[in-house]
């Protein structure tokens, strides 16, 4: 399997960081971003980018929202950066022209086969056992009553009533997804993230989440993507052993266990669970500490399946972790999570990673160093790149829990962020990770008391990270083309390759 470029990537919205796609392109080509980020995951820029779910409910996934730019802007960005985009395979907006045609004409619409209803999955009706077996990341069943062509129907809506599920097995549904792949390939996009792909295939009598048919769909879709020069990243929050199984069957997965385990290690001063994960985790992974979706928790917990196995953390440790996030954030994350805000995700805490560490600059840089020393493709979320605190003003203005971690920046606020020592140090650490040829090989880990040591070795270079998880003290030593180097203070003296 050919792996994509493993240098550091940025995850960002074009509008919230730089106004639009040309602005994002210009920003990424300037220092300090140019050295820190070799790639960029541009979060949804489709029509509309500011819908009910911040672009994850596109009405037209094949079109760039003209307020942000054009496919030509994406193509231009792709000439200097490894570019990644979301391919939302599970659903489209209820305002999409295709679905509105179904609303108007019902079964007679030319797009009737594109969308799922309860009847299209359960043509003979469903039993209570079949319905309660369906896995959904939010409370309740995944159906919304709607009138289609004058007829009352139960439309399949896994996430919200504004997001209508696509029938990926239908001719119309597959043609729609192929058109999106065509746009990506033509724009030079190197990676697509299959958003919510675990929910895309529905089979009666199953959970309809990451079932065998899901893997068949992913394999077929990956073949179609590769034919266009595009690699595929699968986005699934799940029990860690299932994640390992998924990783063995696909190009790339997210290491969603890493963020909660890093927090657990720094909260407790005990590196044992994190070091164990380093030994068994999939290597074909994208590493993150934060994303636009908050801090995932379910990925380190016990299996929810009947008779399922233990998690990397116990239920009690999970509760302590969540309470630790709330405590370190001064309670602000509690205001944005679960029933406290409009998005009732069952598997995440809405909080910036910086606030989850109590705005402690040195512990924050220690966490980022662990991420960057972990094998895989490192991605840093834009709010994390700027060590952003929770945006309580935005949360209270919108009432959307995830907005606490989705700040807006303009030229003035970007400059203010870039002037902060912790941001300068983090971007320098990313540049170090990109430039030192020590990160091609696997990682060697050891534990001594509260100290976790990680060593990476490449051609004619090595680097060793030692983090005292009790105190947060961090040391990096390395050897590369310019000789030996060492630093004991990432904040005041970030490493330089």
How far apart CA 45 and CA 61 sit, in angstroms, is 9
Tokens of 173: 């549904």
Q: Mapping DSSP to helix (H, G, I), strand (E, B) and coil, where does residue 167 land?
A: coil
If we measure between CA atoms, which residue out of 53, 135, 59 comes closest to residue 97?
59
Q: Which of 53, 65, 86, 235 is catalytic?
A: 235
Residues 6+ positions from 273 with CB-CB distance below 8 Å:
261, 264, 265, 312, 313
If we measure between CA atoms, which residue out of 97, 111, 87 comes closest to residue 181?
87
Q: CB–CB of 420/387 below 8 Å?
A: yes
Q: Which of 195, 251, 293, 435 is catalytic?
A: 195
Q: CB–CB of 473/467 below 8 Å?
A: yes
If we measure between CA atoms, which residue out of 113, 186, 99 comes closest to residue 146?
99
How far apart CA 356 and CA 434 sit, in angstroms, is 26
If we measure between CA atoms, which residue out of 471, 386, 379, 465 comes closest to residue 424?
386
If we measure between CA atoms, which residue out of 47, 43, 71, 44 comes closest to residue 60?
47
For residue 195, indicate whether it is catalytic: yes
Tokens of 30: 């300037």
Distance of CA 157 to the CA centre of its chain: 21
If we measure between CA atoms, which residue out of 38, 49, 41 comes closest to residue 6?
38
The H or E element containing residue 302 is none
User: Other C-beta atoms within 10 Å of 219: how many?
Assistant: 12
Q: Mapping DSSP to helix (H, G, I), strand (E, B) and coil, where does residue 13 land?
A: coil
DSSP state of 96: S
For residue 492, indicate whether it is catalytic: no
If we measure between CA atoms, which residue out of 179, 194, 184 comes closest to residue 98?
179
How far apart CA 489 and CA 396 sit, in angstroms, is 37
Packing angle of the helix pair 421-435, 411-418 (nearest 10 deg): 80
Write phi, then psi, for 81 (nearest 5 degrees): -135, 145
How far apart CA 474 and CA 490 sit, in angstroms, is 7
Q: Is the peptide bond before 32 cis (omega within 30 degrees of 0)?
A: yes
Residues 6+ positions from 103 with CB-CB distance below 8 Å:
146, 147, 148, 149
Query: Catalytic residue positions?
Result: 195, 235
């Amino acid at each position: 399997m050919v792996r994509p470029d493993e240098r550091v990537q940025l995850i960002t919205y074009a509008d919230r960081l730089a106004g639009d796609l040309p602005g994002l392109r210009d920003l990424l080509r300037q220092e300090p971003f140019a050295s820190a980020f070799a790639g960029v995951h541009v979060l949804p820029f489709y029509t509309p980018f500011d819908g009910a779910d911040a672009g994850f409910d596109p009405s037209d996934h094949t079109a760039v929202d003209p307020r942000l730019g054009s496919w030509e802007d994406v193509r231009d960005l792709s000439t200097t950066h490894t570019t990644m985009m979301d391919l939302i395979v599970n659903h489209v907006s209820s305002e999409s022209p295709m679905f509105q045609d179904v609303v108007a004409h019902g079964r007679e619409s030319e797009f009737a086969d594109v969308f799922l209803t309860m009847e299209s999955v359960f043509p003979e009706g469903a039993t209570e056992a079949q319905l309660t077996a369906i896995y959904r990341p939010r409370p309740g069943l995944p159906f919304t009553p709607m009138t289609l062509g004058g007829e009352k129907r139960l439309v399949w809506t896994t996430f919200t009533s504004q997001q209508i599920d696509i029938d990926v097995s239908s001719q119309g549904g597959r043609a729609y997804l192929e058109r999106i792949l065509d746009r990506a390939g033509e724009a030079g996009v190197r990676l697509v993230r299959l958003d919510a792909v675990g929910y895309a295939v529905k089979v009666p009598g199953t959970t309809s989440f990451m079932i065998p048919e899901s893997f068949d769909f992913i394999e077929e879709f990956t073949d179609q993507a590769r034919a266009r020069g595009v690699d595929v990243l699968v986005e699934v929050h799940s029990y860690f052993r299932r994640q390992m199984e998924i990783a063995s069957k696909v190009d790339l997965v997210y290491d969603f266990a890493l963020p909660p385990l890093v927090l657990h290690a720094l909260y407790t001063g005990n590196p044992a669970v994190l070091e164990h994960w380093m030994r068994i985790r999939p290597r074909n992974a994208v590493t993150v500490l934060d994303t636009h979706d908050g801090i995932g928790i379910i990925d380190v917990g016990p299996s929810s399946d009947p008779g399922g196995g233990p998690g990397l953390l116990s239920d009690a440790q999970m509760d302590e972790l969540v309470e630790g996030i709330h405590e370190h954030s001064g309670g602000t994350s509690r205001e944005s999570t679960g029933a406290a805000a409009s998005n009732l995700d069952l598997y995440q805490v809405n909080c910036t990673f910086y606030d989850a560490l109590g705005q402690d600059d040195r512990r924050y840089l220690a966490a980022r160093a662990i991420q960057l020393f972990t094998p895989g493709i490192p991605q840093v979320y834009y709010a994390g790149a700027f060590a952003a605190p929770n945006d309580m003003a935005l949360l209270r203005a919108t009432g959307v829990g995830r907005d606490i971690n989705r700040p807006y920046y303009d030229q003035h606020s970007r400059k203010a962020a870039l002037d902060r020592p912790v941001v300068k140090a983090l971007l320098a650490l990313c540049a170090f990770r990109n430039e030192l040829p020590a990160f091609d090989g696997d990682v060697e880990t050891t534990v001594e008391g509260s100290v976790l040591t990680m060593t990476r070795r490449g051609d004619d270079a090595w680097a060793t990270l030692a983090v005292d998880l009790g105190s947060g003290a961090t040391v990096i030593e390395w050897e590369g083309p310019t000789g030996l180097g060492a630093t004991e203070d990432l904040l005041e003296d970030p490493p330089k390759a």
